[in-house]
Amino acid sequence: MRLLVVEDDADLGPWLRDALEKALGGADLVATLDEARAALKVRPFDLIVMDRRLPDGDAISLIATMRRLNPRPSILVLTALDDPNDIAKALDAGADDYLAKPFEPVELIARAKAVLRRNQLDQKGVSSVANLRFDIFARTAYVDDQLLILPRRELALLEALMRRAGQVVLRESLENAVYGFDDEIQSNAIDAHLSRLRKRLRENGCQAEIKPLRGIGYLMTDSA
């Protein structure tokens, strides 16, 4: 795992590098867009954590270049600008996530991991929460590397939840994932499937938990 921190603040830059290095592995620090471009030419990175306001311009201008790289690095933008328009601009440009300053160190690491997980999901098709692993391409689930056999609808539910692990999945997204256009949706059917899926996960010693949020949706989270 190789990380690039693009941050011009003399205090924050080294701190970011050290914190990320400790949590995720080797990190490099650059302070300008130019240096970032140079660094990207030298070697590939898995994750780029960058400030938006840099001495030589807005970091958004670099995102397009980064997205064309192969393998594509995950991009986490740090911004002091929390105007919804600014956030939308960063995400539209292709950033995977943004984090508003000031942030809790724990939050930074969690977001970095989430972004990496999503990118891994896109590129390798694997999403994991605690000891639960889901292979998107093969559509198979493992608990502690033990294959989990699931009925069709429960598998579809698990896939929808694992694709957005750590995020709230709205109930209607689950319904869309499980039922086709022609299926008659019974209002409680989803709950029945979910409760069976939950039971099955528990029986197999899974430490990931499906947290229900009444009226909102569900959250796949580490129960530890």
What residues line the site for other proteins (CB under 8 A)?
9, 11-12, 15-16, 19, 53, 80-84, 86, 100-105, 168, 170, 211, 213-217, 219, 221
User: Which CB sits closer to other proteins, 73 or 217?
Assistant: 217
In whole angstroms, the minimum distance from the beta carbon of 82 to other proteins comes to 7
Dihedral through CA 65, CA 118, CA 160, CA 158, nearest 10? 160
User: Which CB sits closer to other proteins, 111 or 133?
Assistant: 111
In whole angstroms, the minimum distance from the beta carbon of 113 to other proteins comes to 14
Contact 90, 98 (CB under 8 A): yes
User: Which CB sits closer to other proteins, 56 or 144?
Assistant: 56
In whole angstroms, the minimum distance from the beta carbon of 129 to other proteins comes to 15
User: Which CB sits closer to other proteins, 69 or 80?
Assistant: 80
Q: How far is residue 4 from each of residues 14, 34, 170, measured CA to CA in Å?
A: 11, 13, 33
In whole angstroms, the minimum distance from the beta carbon of 19 to other proteins comes to 8
CB neighbourhood size of 108 (10 A): 18
